[in-house]
Amino acid sequence: MEKILIIEDEENIRSFIKLNLQRKGYSVYEAETGEDGLSIIQEEQDIAILILDIMLPGIDGFEVAKEVRTFNKQVGIIMLTAKTMEADKVTGLVNGADDYMSKPFSVNELIARVQSLLRRIQPLIHSKQIGLKLDRSKRCLINDGEPIELSPTEYQILSILDLAKGKAVSRNDVLDEVWGLDFPGDPKVVDVNIRRIRQKVEADPSHPVHIQTVWGYGYKWEKI
């Protein structure tokens, strides 16, 4: 069952699209703002299609699409807007959209566009790596579908990096969170544990892709 995320601030439109997609057997997620939508797509990394309104409160659809493309190249993006200006279509496509529909639209046409886009991206969906995901219920890491056992300390470190959603976390913040403010030992204990985590998740630990060093500051986690 393919997953579809709708980011649309008008509840009646969002609910109508969701209902019709569910009738077709899709698993549907929804968000009212771009910020909430980004959180969902980062957490649910196997979202296949993003239906994205341009006019949103907070960050607009253009910015959402641009941000999504920094960490997810495979998801199909269909942009919705009440505008019909050619410039908006160009801007949407430049920022990573695959298709474009102007409001008002037929829900049957939207579903046809979804199905067409799924056929185009299906090979990418099934050939891509699942990537890294922290399983909080089992307190372990999932790498390409396979569980990786973590020590309690390693799990805590990854949990902190995970909550940062791709932003760098300082070494001192990790030290304080995991070992406490009064830890009397060597701060390099953070680096030692990072090296252990890299041994478990990196294809080449000496050239890490997922657990990246931000020199002079700390670390960040790139899941894909």
Would you state the pLDDT for residue 90? 65
CATH 3.30.160.250: does it fit domain 3-127? no
Computed over every residue of the chain, the mean pLDDT equals 86
- Provide CB contacts within 8 A for 186, sequence distance 6+: none
CA pair distance 161, 13, nearest whole angstrom: 36
CA pair distance 149, 192, nearest whole angstrom: 17
Whole-structure pTM value: 0.57
pLDDT exceeds cutoff 70 at 87: no
| CATH (residue range 132-221) | 1.10.10.10
Structure-model confidence comparison of residues 121 and 169, the more confident one: 169
Phi then psi for 44, rounded to 5 degrees? -100, 85
Note whether 16 and 28 are within 8 A (CB).
no
- Give the pLDDT mean for 35-59: 90
Confidence class for position 123, pLDDT limits 50, 70, 90: low
Structure-model confidence comparison of residues 29 and 209, the more confident one: 29
pLDDT exceeds cutoff 50 at 127: no
Would you state the pLDDT for residue 135? 83
For residue range 149-190, what is the model confidence (pLDDT) as tens digits? Answer: 889 899 999 999 999 988 999 999 999 999 999 888 888 999
Q: Where exactly are the structural domains of the chain? A: 3-127, 132-221
pLDDT exceeds cutoff 50 at 22: yes
Kindly list the distances between the CA atom of residue 161 and the CA atoms of 21, 83, 144, 154, in Å, as whole numbers in the listed order: 34, 39, 19, 11
Confidence class for position 124, pLDDT limits 50, 70, 90: low
Would you state the pLDDT for residue 1? 75
- Give the pLDDT mean for 127-152: 77
Percent of the chain with pLDDT over 70: 89
Q: What is the dihedral of CA 116, 118, 121, 123, to 10 degrees?
A: -110
* Six-digit token string for 51: 């239906």
- Give the pLDDT mean for 38-54: 89
pLDDT exceeds cutoff 70 at 130: no
Structure-model confidence comparison of residues 124 and 166, the more confident one: 166
- Provide CB contacts within 8 A for 205, sequence distance 6+: 195, 198, 199
Structure-model confidence comparison of residues 78 and 97, the more confident one: 78
